Amino acid sequence: MDPSGIAEQDDGGYTVRPLGVDDRETAVTVINSAAEWYRDFLPPEEVPGPEMTPAEWDAEASRMTWYGIFAGTQLLGVMGLEYVREVALLRHAYVAPDHQRRGVGRLLHSHVEGLVAGVERIVVGTYAANHKARRALETSGYRLSADSETVLRAYYDIDEDRLVSSVTYEKRVGD
């Protein structure tokens, strides 16, 4: 694998590559369709609108690298890799609902995880009630942080509502 992550990788018919501005519209559609799942466990007032707008996608792209997993030309899932001081954050993992539970998220996650370099720790945040994401992280070898709030305050720029309803998981690079 190209350590820059710029090269494409074929894996079981799927391709993972960094996303650019031309992918923004499709990526935002994937994110917002997958994020509909939050309505299953969040109170309605905490799901006020789309999870991400195109402008927010651009703002995130200025800090981190977006990756996408494709079947042919169809974008199935996205994830962001952001470095904040001594850790790598894997953020915004979303797989289109019609393609979930087929190993797509795990493949994208392990590809992006394999690109992490120069830090010793990977951190992932999620809603405490998001049992799908928590199970995915636990089966991928992540451990719940001893103090999620401190980790969230140290590495994330999130509002208080989301902070109090979130947890973080961690893994040492290479584990």
| Chain positions contacting ligand COA, by CB under 6 A | 34-35, 37, 93-95, 100-106, 126, 130, 132-133, 135-136, 139
Alpha carbon distance 156, 168 (integer Å):
11
Q: Minimum distance from CB of 146 to ligand COA (Å)?
A: 19
Which residue's Cβ has the minimum distance to ligand COA?
105
Measured from the CB atom, the residue of 3 and 103 that comes closer to ligand COA is: 103
Paired tokens of 16: 């993972």
Q: Minimum distance from CB of 65 to ligand COA (Å)?
A: 17
Alpha carbon distance 85, 150 (integer Å):
15
Alpha carbon distance 85, 82 (integer Å):
10
Asked if residues 92 and 59 have their Cβ atoms less than 8 Å apart, the reply is: no
Measured from the CB atom, the residue of 3 and 138 that comes closer to ligand COA is: 138
Q: Is 71 in a helix, a strand, or coil?
A: strand
Measured from the CB atom, the residue of 106 and 153 that comes closer to ligand COA is: 106
Q: Minimum distance from CB of 52 to ligand COA (Å)?
A: 11
Positive or negative: CA dihedral 39, 41, 47, 49: negative
Measured from the CB atom, the residue of 126 and 148 that comes closer to ligand COA is: 126
